[in-house]
Amino acid sequence: MGRLQGKTAVVLGAAGAGNMGQTIARRFAAEGAQVVVAGRRLDPLEALAQEIGGRAVVCDITVRKDVDTLARAALDWTGRLDVALNATGWGLLKPFLETTDEDLAAMTALQFIGPFQWMQATLAAMIEAGNGGSIIQVSSATATIMLNDHAAYMGTKAGTDHLVRCVANEFGRYGIRANSISPGLTATPMTAEAQATPGLFEAFAPCYPLGRVGTSDDIAEAAVWLAQDNCFMTGQNLQVNGGLTLRRNPDRDEISASVIRAMQPNPVS
């Protein structure tokens, strides 16, 4: 423990009880970081902040003023911003020809424009603080491998992965690293209905060389490593998915219609 002692971290997407963002925030705090937790709902954020001795900030990643305020909150609290992690997202599952303009606008705002603006605000704060830092974007294995009816999600995640590469290339001179983490299907509250659906996890399990789907703790462990100063990595997409991208997701014929419906998650805030 204590691998992040003295650091200030921001975790965006931590308003859902027990979600990946909350798991990561708890892990960062356990490793000694002072953590600002952010998302769209204040009550669960305040409860989490009280639990871990952190701060809570309401932030909608699609609103530029909110992301600017979030970055400033870290600086105002401790005078530094060392680690910034974005775990927001919306796993839209919809056939390509049925995806609407409204779907595309919402997905792009949440998973491309929002992260772009969040990185801008985070970079400005890290440069002002002058301590370098680590930017971590939670991506997806499906930015690399295929999954039916998932194009808008996959395309925006892949685009944001490339933004991470751009940031890493341009801002390394400030001591700032930028990387993404790609989970596969993960056991989280967002996928609770899917987990309860007979046959879903069983359909995915053979696709993982390590024999199981991932957990939020798997992602939190990777995030801690990326957050440390001794991580000599930048501009990379870390595939923390048990080897899923060595193989493939199951295709439509291997997943029943009821299972596909259960996979439709709500946005993560």
The residues carrying an active-site annotation are 153
CA distance 131 to 176: 8
232 CB contacts (<8 Å, ≥6 apart)? none
3-state secondary structure of 29: helix
Residue listed under structure tokens 């356990």:
30
DSSP assignment, residue 171? H
Radius of gyration of the chain (CA): 18
Residue 210 CA to residue 132 CA, distance in Å, equals 35
Phi, psi of 136 (to 5 degrees): -130, 120
Angle at 45 between CA 39 and CA 49, to 5 degrees: 130
Tell me the CB-side half-sphere exposure of residue 174, using CA atoms within 13 A: 23
- Check: CB of residue 70 under 8 Å from CB of residue 95: no
37-56 CB burial, b ≥16 within 10 A, e <16: bbbbeeebbeebbeebebbb
Distance CA 103, CA 177 (A): 32
